[in-house]
Amino acid sequence: MGEREENFIEWLNNVLFTAQIYDYRYPVKGMGIWMPYGYKLRQNVINIMRKLLDKTGHEEVLFPLLIPRTMLEREATHIKGFMGEVFWVTRGGKSRLDMELALRPTSETSMTTAFRDWIQSWKDLPLKVYQVVSVFRYETKSTRPLIRVREISTFKEAFTAHATSEDAWRQFREAISIYKRFFNALGIPYIISSRLPWDRFAGADETVTFDTIMPDGRALQIGSVHYLGQRFSKAFDAKFMTEKGKYEHIYQLSYGISERVIASIIAVHSDELGPILPPNVAPIQVVIVPIPYKEVEEAVYKYARRIYDELKRRRLRVHLDDDPEETPGSKFYKWERRGVPLRVEVGPRDLENGGATLVRRDTRERLFVKLEQLAEEIRRTMRVMLREMKERAWREFKARLKPAKSLEEIGEVVKNRMIAIVPWCGSEECAHEIEDLTGYKILGKPLRKPRKSRDKCPVCGRSSITILYVGRSY
Amino acid sequence: MGEREENFIEWLNNVLFTAQIYDYRYPVKGMGIWMPYGYKLRQNVINIMRKLLDKTGHEEVLFPLLIPRTMLEREATHIKGFMGEVFWVTRGGKSRLDMELALRPTSETSMTTAFRDWIQSWKDLPLKVYQVVSVFRYETKSTRPLIRVREISTFKEAFTAHATSEDAWRQFREAISIYKRFFNALGIPYIISSRLPWDRFAGADETVTFDTIMPDGRALQIGSVHYLGQRFSKAFDAKFMTEKGKYEHIYQLSYGISERVIASIIAVHSDELGPILPPNVAPIQVVIVPIPYKEVEEAVYKYARRIYDELKRRRLRVHLDDDPEETPGSKFYKWERRGVPLRVEVGPRDLENGGATLVRRDTRERLFVKLEQLAEEIRRTMRVMLREMKERAWREFKARLKPAKSLEEIGEVVKNRMIAIVPWCGSEECAHEIEDLTGYKILGKPLRKPRKSRDKCPVCGRSSITILYVGRSY
């Protein structure tokens, strides 16, 4: 068991900086810098999400960061949940502001304000928008890079408005399906669960979350979908005219993902050296490293450049590392630690044989490929690699989900860095007891009830009607 | 003279909302919402800039929004210039923050902090990064949509670090050339001028700005390039090791553009109906409006759909407006007001003749085009249109630059909604006098001295050595 499992957060912090993804040394707690390489990774990941959202009729918008206190306080349950963690702007220049302004912790209130202005009749519905922005939470718990930050600098938040509750629930299922496709595209395994009532988003009638598992066994919530119903539309008086000419309040959802997805990519696809970036989002998919020998140095560099030009022309994200002052071995190590999925080595023998040696970052497999087939072989390898990375991640993930039939077993399972699957009678009292007696957290229950079993609730001993996921979580 | 000239800001505000670009009704002064259509326009514009920056070796990053007070105050001239307009976060949850945090008004201080960490030796130079973010200014003057806002929500700020002053000045010229190409691509006319010393960016040794002219005759600064020299690197102790092994402070630049470029596109390319969006950035390049007649309704709709599919396949940004409940006339008007550059009308006669009628938004020219040539003709027309829009904009711009040889003439020129070109002896005292006596603002002087003339400075009567641009400005 290595650093990654034993001391995950420190490992993550080091890897993020070594790979030049995210610099967490910024002198404000819980805030970090996306470095050029990390920014590209982030963009590639966001663009997968954008495509999924655009295809399903969502449109991108950009709202102001600042939310006036009165707006944020308008829906009572919501503000109750967020009040403790809002950053407040109270001064401009030397003047005290008349109205304190919140750095948005989330945007339900400003969106509903705009929806009220934008939506007149049923013809304007459904309305589906999203934005990718920073949101701010004054976290009092320990902050962790990308995982628990005070500036969530990559928050994709979607908001929809519907004429009927049926249509809103249909959208709820669509949102879940979009997130499934998103995490599948990145090979990140997950469980989908419904939060118990006291654990829902502040203002939601139902919250479904996606959780993955970090190498230290803790669950990480990486996506959530909230059914808001008419709670906000009633508080903000956001109405529309129905086909029959009556006025009704809109039905709303919100759903979000954050840079935790980047943390997950790195946590899930990595080894002792660092990240293995999925080829579909890697900023550099292929690094070319020439291996010059005396007397054929010139020829090798020239040949490497030719390969670079060809791969570039074939629209691969390729980098040529031909610095003559660094050894090939040092380059191999450097690019492995930056997570580049494929390496092309070009030595005198490759030159002689009219090809190059392709090396996979994950399996270290080596393959000599003729120049004419190189681009095609790289594409094929990237596809295979992504599929195998995904399969490996799911295998490891599933091995960390373990049934536990008693409170003692829950303790053992969680101590062994796993998530416990616990039979449950359905009573909220027993759920509270499970959390109180084990000290662990209930992530939620599955969306559909599992097949009938003869298991008993570990608290009251009655027959279980479903299960709960229990573990430690970030 | 219409609303656009007489009452430009109100006109702009209305047009922005009618065209569904920017909703300025958000209940915090100086902050607005980018609506879906406006967001796409904004993205298309930013992407032109991104391409120019990427091609010249700039890399995108993303820095935290919040800057601790001590960091912001570290360079004295800088903070002196910005102190009056900083928004301050002073509370998190219910606690007072130990260290007050500024919403970044600009990012020289946080960038220099990171540069100090990132740059070790001359091998790391030059370093060229940029980010597209919100910056905040607590403006005490009247705010105007996109033009003077408190949340500048589209600030592209670039920062570079160099080993020598020569290399920094070379970059200074590159930055100017990038901005020229950017504004040229959008057909926005400009003058480039060097700011007089008291009017430079706070902390810069030289500031060059791009100014365009609004329909009401006021100048609008739409881009600026700052030579920072070693002022910040000395304050932050950002050093690098030279080839000779010595330690020296880096040389720095910063340069920025904002959403004022979107305001300029709309101001410069518009008529009494609203904007005429340049085809290269228009979210919808072509709108197809079927003109159904009784008995051939079905056929016309089907034909319009076929044209839509074909243009879509040819990668044009095309929209089909086939709502049967709205008249074609109403649709024409609606899409004209949203600035769509081209309309394709499809009626029974077009169907009969196997083509469609192409209508230009700017000239209203109509052209029947055979279906097989339609996509190609649209592309050709878009090119012609962009060129002609640009030529028209430059003609109108140049007509607003007028020589003025006395203080009285300056007054007349500016009152007539123009910018005065004023001979100047080069003395700062006379420049101050010009501003004080006319009540107008000096935008700057040209980068190169103009050809010798016999003109006299209107204040002291000595021979002029260059000119000044004088006018009203936003």
How far is CA A120 from its chain centroid?
35
How far apart, in whole angstroms, are the C-alpha atoms of residue A14 and residue A23?
9
Does any domain span residue A387?
A: no
Q: Does B140 touch chain A (CB under 8 A)?
A: yes
Q: Does B96 touch chain A (CB under 8 A)?
A: no
How far apart, in whole angstroms, are the C-alpha atoms of residue B235 and residue B203?
11
With tokens 């997968």, the residue in question is A48
* pLDDT number for residue A2: 85
Does any domain span residue B87?
A: yes
How far apart, in whole angstroms, are the C-alpha atoms of residue A247 and residue A249?
7
Range of the domain at A366: 286-381
* pLDDT number for residue B454: 87
Question: Is the pLDDT assigned to residue B189 strictly greater than 90?
Answer: yes
Read off the pLDDT of residues A358-404 as tens digits, 9 standing for 90 and up. 999 999 999 999 999 999 999 999 999 999 999 999 999 999 999 99
Is the same domain home to A226 and A375?
no
Q: Does B244 touch chain A (CB under 8 A)?
A: no
Distances in whole angstroms, Cα of residue A379 to Cα of each of A275, A358, B155: 20, 12, 37
DSSP three-state, residue B167: helix
Q: Does B326 touch chain A (CB under 8 A)?
A: no
Residue B275 corresponds to which tokens in the numbers above?
């904007």
The Cβ of residue B395 has, within 10 Å, a number of other Cβ atoms equal to 10
Which residues on chain A are in Cβ contact (under 8 Å) with B60? Answer: 36, 39-40, 43
Which residue in chain B is spatially nearest to A113 when comparing CA positions?
A: B26
Domain boundary among B245, B271, B297: B271
Does any domain span residue A414?
A: yes
Burial class from Cβ neighbours inside 10 Å (0-12, 13-18, 19+) for residue A74 reads middle
Is the same domain home to B294 and B208?
no
Read off the pLDDT of residues B347-394 as tens digits, 9 standing for 90 and up. 999 999 999 999 999 999 999 999 999 999 999 999 999 999 999 999
Domain boundary among B240, B271, B302: B271
Report the b/e string of A275-286 with b at 16+ CB within 10 A.
bbbbbbbbbbbb
Is the same domain home to A7 and A103?
yes
Is the same domain home to B93 and B130?
yes
Q: What is the mean pLDDT of residues B234-261?
A: 98
Read off the pLDDT of residues A424-445 as tens digits, 9 standing for 90 and up. 999 999 999 999 999 999 999 9
Query: How many domains in chain B?
Result: 3
Does any domain span residue B388?
A: no
Is the same domain home to B245 and B165?
yes
Does any domain span residue B194?
A: yes
Tell me the pLDDT of chain A averaged across its residues: 96
Which residues on chain B are in Cβ contact (under 8 Å) with A152? Answer: none
State the CATH number of the domain containing residue B360.
Answer: 3.40.50.800
B65·A40 Cβ contact <8 A: no
Of A31, A91, A138, the CB nearest to B64: A31
Q: Does A134 touch chain B (CB under 8 A)?
A: yes
Residue A33 is given by DSSP the state E
ipTM exceeding 0.95, yes/no: yes
Across the A:B interface, residue pairs with CB atoms under 8 Å apart total 149
Tell me the pLDDT of chain B averaged across its residues: 96
Does any domain span residue B238?
A: yes
How far apart, in whole angstroms, are the C-alpha atoms of residue B50 and residue A321?
24
In angstroms, what separates the C-alpha of B212 from chain A's closest C-alpha? 26
Read off the pLDDT of residues B190-239 as tens digits, 9 standing for 90 and up. 999 999 999 999 999 999 999 999 999 999 999 999 999 999 999 999 99
How far apart, in whole angstroms, are the C-alpha atoms of residue B157 and residue B149?
17
Q: Check if the beta carbon of residue B249 is closer than 8 Å to that of residue B88.
A: no
Which residues on chain A are in Cβ contact (under 8 Å) with B89? Answer: 87-90, 103
Read off the pLDDT of residues A46-96 as tens digits, 9 standing for 90 and up. 999 999 999 999 999 999 999 999 999 999 998 999 999 999 999 999 999
Is the same domain home to B176 and B292?
no
Residue A248 corresponds to which tokens in the numbers above?
């009704």
Is the same domain home to B177 and B266?
yes
Q: What is the mean pLDDT of residues A264-284?
A: 97
pTM: 0.97
Domain boundary among A223, A241, A271: A271
Q: Does A318 touch chain B (CB under 8 A)?
A: no
- The residue ranges of DSSP E strands in B301-418, in sequence order, are 318-320, 342-346, 355-360, 366-370, 401-403
Is the same domain home to B311 and B256?
no
Question: Is the pLDDT assigned to residue A154 strictly greater than 80?
Answer: yes
Does any domain span residue B393?
A: no
Is the same domain home to B247 and B313?
no
Q: Does A346 touch chain B (CB under 8 A)?
A: no
How far apart, in whole angstroms, are the C-alpha atoms of residue B342 and residue B74?
52
Does any domain span residue A276?
A: no
A26·B151 Cβ contact <8 A: no
Of B61, B90, B150, the CB nearest to A35: B61
* Beta bridge partners of residue A420, listed in sequence order: A402, A470
Is the same domain home to B79 and B185?
yes
State the CATH number of the domain containing residue B457.
Answer: 3.30.110.30
- The residue ranges of DSSP E strands in B187-296, in sequence order, are 191-194, 206-213, 219-229, 239-241, 247-249, 251-257, 270-271, 274-275, 286-290
A87·B85 Cβ contact <8 A: no
How far apart, in whole angstroms, are the C-alpha atoms of residue A267 and residue A474?
13
Is the same domain home to A411 and A440?
yes
* pLDDT number for residue B1: 67
B40·A60 Cβ contact <8 A: yes
A36·B60 Cβ contact <8 A: yes
Phi and psi torsions of A419, nearest 5°: -105, 130
Distances in whole angstroms, Cα of residue A383 to Cα of each of A51, A368, A380, B27, B409: 19, 18, 5, 49, 71
DSSP three-state, residue A131: strand
Of B33, B61, B90, the CB nearest to A114: B33
Cis link prior to A283 (omega < 30° from 0)? Answer: no
Read off the pLDDT of residues B151-171 as tens digits, 9 standing for 90 and up. 999 999 999 999 999 999 999
Is the same domain home to A181 and A127?
yes
Residue B63: CA count within 13 A, CB half-sphere: 31
